[in-house]
Structure 1
Amino acid sequence: MRIRFLGTAGHAGWPAPQCTCASCNRALAERRLPLRVTVDDRFRIREGAVVGPVPPGYSVTVTADGVLVVGPDGGRLLYARSAPGPQPAPPPVEAAAAGNGSAYASSPPDQQVDMVIVDAAQRPEVIGELRRSGVVGVTTAVVAVGGDHRVRSPQEFARRARLWGALAPSDGAEMSCPPAVWPESRPHGPHRTLITGGARSGKSTEAELRLLAEPRVVYAATGAVPDPDRDPEWARRVELHRNRRPWWWRTEQTIELAEVLKRTRGAVLVDCLGTWLAAVMDENGMWDDDPPEDAEEMVEGRIHGLLEAWRTTQAYVVAVTNEVGSGVVPATRAGRIFRDHLGLLNQWVGAESEEVVLAAAGRVTELP
């Protein structure tokens, strides 16, 4: 089958009519029409429906995942549904786990498709859901469409597509199904990314965005377990974080990060190294005015254990950390000790990472 993309943007196009937002202004140089996809120039498909009669030799089926088109040559194209379907309850938060990540249900080979079209501005996590179920396999070409002013710029949309192992075609692009061209390979384990930045800089959002297309994700939460009675504000923060993550991500509430990195396959998101270090220092009495004699040695041992696990992990790991050295010297002893230790930890983890990213004002910069 020959798939032609006459338009690749959201329903209003990009830039949207009469819109003067920054995203639409940046899209003026490469205008994109509303999404329109044709098959062999004989009929159109869109989410949930085929436009026009289906020619002989083609099979069209509406599935739970979207519209499946099978061509005369056996090519299998899925136009993925962007509206969320029924979802099971999220996996429970675990204090410790012996498994290797969230459950990964493989579909029979006859369910795998050759190409999938996904509205990646609406629900990019669909890619992860389809990989998790086995509908999208290693030989499936993922095509990301639907970009509009929900995304900062066409360049940002293309960057996200690369992170998800997807192609982001321009208007007029033509592809074959089964594909002749595949996207660049997305990161696979072992691969380490460190994301640093100040408070509310967009660090966690960028970390989560990078892993939306992964079929298995362990979210290693290093903050305190929320207690709604003692600290309702913290509990609300944690709940908001949890609700925005895909339902199949499994959360582990732990500071045993070295163990998580050693045993996990798939993807791991660590949020964050700053709260991990604070907990380790507290565990060893370093906040005390008169800390134990071996406190420094114990903390250094935990740090070196984490670094060794980070260096040897087989997972695709994205870790968030805090940039605490850009302000004035802390006024307290505890603040100075924490800043020094976290600054060094960030340097050491960064030195052992394939990628280090700085987040500021919701934007990210790759640090060479």
Structure 2
Amino acid sequence: MTVDDRFRLREAGAVGPVPPGYTVTSTPDGALVESADGGRLLFARSGPGPLPGGPPADGRPSGASAYSSAPAQQVDMVIVDAAQRPEVVGELRRSGVIGVTTAVVAVGGDHRIRSPEEFARRARLWGALVPGDGTVMSCPPTVWPESRPHGPYRTLITGGARSGKSTEAELRLLTEPRVVYAATGPVPDGTDPEWAERVEHHARRRPWWWRTEETSGLAVLLRQARGAVLVDCLGTWLTGVMGECGLWEDEPPEDAEERLETAVHELLEAWRSTQAYVVAVTNEVGSGVVPPTRSGRIFRDRLGLLNQWVGAESEVVVLATAGRVVELG
């Protein structure tokens, strides 16, 4: 990258001598350029590991301490390799280096992402500009990116098994500075190693500053949440609630259906009124054969209805299949 036609810049610092009137500092965040008129440009680091103010030694923050960070000075523009590590944008927003008036520029749209259109789609979700090769940009820019979603805003992502729906949900929130990950499935208890491995795999790929809440109390979480929330997923939430109501039993209690209706109503009210930016994953279970058991048929019907009701109260509904996504009207 060339700055003002005066010198070249990489994330590690300047290439060649820095002309008078500029300073280039190699920082833990990347290469920081400051001009005589006070402009500040950061070429963000794309290497592995958290930026300053990162996780504790065990790498697993929890609670409010996960969101503490040292004071940082905001810059005017950040250049980010968004194909290598887009989550750097979230880290810099969290620390204050990227503020509401900072222009985020996404570069790196090469073979690592399948098409220029897909790279541009992701950048729009992250509130970033995507300049073409050879583009000359001013700092601050003359054209700003579309505003990324902010709460209250609800997105429902549906799809079959291994369709890419969880990956898409995580991708949408990678650059958010505050994310609560609502894990609705059963907590591993040592009796099912395969399930424990699935849970661990999901945990390993999440950014370090995301806070995990293992809970079935989605209604309470959505009412209290600010920032961003990822719910994964509504199918496991419904499974747990149906179990709590006794609907998996051969002879369910007389009030089982009523209790389930109450729980679903509370969730829908919280979804409708939440002030957070929420992305929820759900399952498509009605595309195959009719389940051979009574409980299976009840679950399929109940989840299909829940998906319809949540979708009706969402700004965006997305279908994931074979790793590709389509926004539904």
Per the TM superposition, whether the score is higher than 0.5 is yes
For residue 84 of structure 1, report the CA deviation from its aligned partner. Answer: 2.3
Q: Distance in 1 between matches of 2:38 and 2:301?
A: 61
Q: Is the 8 A contact 2:70 2:95 kept in 1?
A: yes
Equivalence for 1:39:
3
Q: Is the 8 A contact 1:58 1:70 kept in 2?
A: yes
User: Which digits, 9 at most, give the CA deviation of each residue in 1:217-267, with x for residues without a partner?
Assistant: 00000011012x311111111111000000000000000000110111000
Letter in 2 for 1:301: T
- For the residue of structure 2 that corresponds to 1:175, the secondary structure is coil
| 1:91 correspondence with 2:61 | yes
Equivalence for 1:168:
130
Tell me: CA distance 1:162–1:104, structure 2 relative to 1, closer, same or farther (3 Å).
farther
Equivalence for 1:301:
262
Q: Is the 8 A contact 1:104 1:216 kept in 2?
A: no
Moved more, 196-205 or 76-85: 76-85
User: Which digits, 9 at most, give the CA deviation of each residue in 1:89-130, with x for residues without a partner?
Assistant: 2224xxxx8x7x95254735xx10000000000000000000
Aligned length: 323
Moved more, 269-278 or 46-55: 46-55
| 1:258 correspondence with 2:219 | yes
Q: Distance in 2 between matches of 1:48 and 1:77?
A: 13
Equivalence for 2:142:
180
Letter in 2 for 1:144: A
| 1:146 correspondence with 2:105 | no
Equivalence for 1:50:
14
Letter in 2 for 1:284: C
For residue 193 of structure 1, report the CA deviation from its aligned partner. Answer: 0.1
Q: Is the 8 A contact 1:104 1:215 kept in 2?
A: no
Equivalence for 1:62:
26
Tell me: CA distance 1:165–1:213, structure 2 relative to 1, closer, same or farther (3 Å).
same
- For the residue of structure 2 that corresponds to 1:116, the secondary structure is strand
For residue 72 of structure 1, report the CA deviation from its aligned partner. Answer: 2.0
Q: Which runs of 5+ in 2 are unaligned?
A: none
Q: Distance in 1 between matches of 2:68 and 2:238?
A: 31
Q: Distance in 2 between matches of 1:166 and 1:105?
A: 23
Q: Which runs of 5+ in 1 are unaligned?
A: 1-36
Q: Distance in 2 between matches of 1:69 and 1:281?
A: 57
Q: Distance in 2 between matches of 1:173 and 1:287?
A: 60
Aligned partner (choices 218, 226, 243) of residue 180 of structure 2: 218
| 1:334 correspondence with 2:304 | no
Q: Is the 8 A contact 2:13 2:24 kept in 1?
A: no
Q: Distance in 2 between matches of 1:104 and 1:277?
A: 34
| 1:123 correspondence with 2:85 | yes
Tell me: CA distance 1:326–1:117, structure 2 relative to 1, closer, same or farther (3 Å).
same
Q: Is the 8 A contact 2:32 2:43 kept in 1?
A: yes
Q: Distance in 1 between matches of 2:66 and 2:185?
A: 21
Letter in 2 for 1:153: S
Letter in 2 for 1:281: M
Q: Is the 8 A contact 2:13 2:25 kept in 1?
A: no
User: Which digits, 9 at most, give the CA deviation of each residue in 1:127-149, with x for residues without a partner?
Assistant: 00000000000000000001211
Equivalence for 2:37:
73
Equivalence for 1:205:
167
Cα-Cα RMSD: 1.3
Equivalence for 2:96:
134
| 1:317 correspondence with 2:287 | no
| 1:274 correspondence with 2:253 | no
| 1:230 correspondence with 2:191 | yes
Letter in 2 for 1:196: T
Equivalence for 1:348:
309
Q: Distance in 2 between matches of 1:104 and 1:175?
A: 33
Equivalence for 2:206:
245
Q: Distance in 2 between matches of 1:283 and 1:351?
A: 26
Q: Distance in 2 between matches of 1:106 and 1:279?
A: 40
| 1:103 correspondence with 2:67 | yes
- For the residue of structure 1 that corresponds to 2:283, the secondary structure is coil
Q: Distance in 1 between matches of 2:198 and 2:295?
A: 25
Letter in 2 for 1:310: W
For residue 181 of structure 1, report the CA deviation from its aligned partner. Answer: 2.4
User: Which digits, 9 at most, give the CA deviation of each residue in 1:24-77, with x for residues without a partner?
Assistant: xxxxxxxxxxxxx11111101012021111000001111110000011221100
Letter in 1 for 2:179: V
Equivalence for 1:15:
none
User: Which digits, 9 at most, give the CA deviation of each residue in 1:127-173, with x for residues without a partner?
Assistant: 00000000000000000001211111110000000000001110121
For residue 180 of structure 1, report the CA deviation from its aligned partner. Answer: 2.7
Equivalence for 2:318:
357
**Fraction of identical pairs, as percent:** 77
